[in-house]
Amino acid sequence: MIRSDISINWLSSPRLITIASPSVSIVMQDLYDTLRNAETTNMDKPIIVSGSGKEPLGNGVYVGLTVSLLNAQLAFENRPGPSFIQCTANGGNLVAFDSSSNSMSPIYTTSYTQIILAASSSATLQELTTVQFSGIANEVLKKLIPFLFAK
């Protein structure tokens, strides 16, 4: 989903990707889609994002999405305080690299926000049909096994 509450400062280094208030969360797929869409209207600028993941591991299990910010950081818009607002970035992994390709924090700190980065482990996506089949197969086997060994 392309998000309309995300803006990009293309001139700063690192570039700043800001999620406007009152939004308090971002899903990695939405961030990736929004940034890719922004690249299409700013083709004179260096790319800002790359993504990887969703490679099959077998049996309907897939690697989660990793979003790589390229010379960019993610920020949630400043809040007025005095209470902190908890914001989340989830649904995959978020990493960032500076203009020299060195690893850096993907989060830019803003006033009165606390950012929770919910990272994913390697095998995080599973096809629903596989899950459903597995559950059904287990139930069938539980009922069938006693009949197979009955004398």
Rounded to an integer, what distance in angstroms lies between the CA atom of residue 26 and that of residue 6?
Answer: 10
Q: Please state the pTM of the whole predicted model.
A: 0.76
Lowest average pLDDT, out of 6-10, 50-54, 99-103, goes to 50-54
Rounded to an integer, what distance in angstroms lies between the CA atom of residue 25 and that of residue 38?
Answer: 19
pLDDT confidence of residue 124 = 47
Burial of 19 (0-12, 13-18, 19+ CB in 10 A): buried
pLDDT confidence of residue 121 = 60
Q: In what order do the strands lie in the sheet with 72-76?
A: 6-9, 15-19, 72-76
pLDDT confidence of residue 126 = 53
Q: Please give the structure tokens belonging to residue 144.
A: 């069938």
Burial of 125 (0-12, 13-18, 19+ CB in 10 A): middle
List the end-to-end C-alpha distance of the chain, in Å, as a whole number.
58
pLDDT confidence of residue 61 = 76
pLDDT confidence of residue 64 = 80
